[in-house]
């Protein structure tokens, strides 16, 4: 399975990750050839969040097959805070045997 997403400006992704990381620590991203989906629940089980972003909303989006990718949002938030709002962000994941 391989997956790539690219945004020419980091502003939107930074905002999404910053908001999510204030509610939840870790989540699983569901990626498919058509969309990128985050479904998560906060630790106290009060807030359920579902965010779906169609592939057309990315500057580049490729996914060979549907899969789930676990990610620590606090770590991703720390990484994205180092970028400026106009930086290009690319996330690339390749599963190896």
pLDDT of residue 88: 95
Q: Which CATH superfamily is domain 2-94 in?
A: DNA Polymerase III, subunit A, domain 2 (3.10.150.10)
* CA-derived radius of gyration, the chain: 13
Which residue, chain included where needed, has tokens 């490729």?
62
Which tens digit of pLDDT belongs to each residue from 11-62? 989 999 999 998 898 899 999 999 999 988 888 989 888 999 999 999 999 9
The predicted pLDDT at position 17 comes to 92
- 97 pLDDT exceeds 70? no
Q: Bridge partners of 68?
A: 30
> What are the residue ranges spanned by the domains of the chain?
2-94
């Amino acid at each position: 399975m391989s997956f790539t997403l690219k945004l020419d400006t980091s502003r939107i992704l930074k905002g999404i990750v910053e908001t999510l990381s204030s509610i939840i620590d870790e989540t699983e991203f569901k990626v498919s050839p058509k969309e990128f989906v985050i479904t998560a629940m906060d630790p106290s089980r009060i807030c359920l969040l579902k965010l779906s972003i169609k592939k057309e909303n990315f500057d580049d989006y490729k996914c060979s097959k549907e899969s789930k990718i676990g990610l620590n949002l606090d770590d991703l938030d720390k990484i994205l805070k180092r970028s400026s709002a106009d930086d290009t962000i690319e996330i690339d994941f390749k599963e190896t045997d």
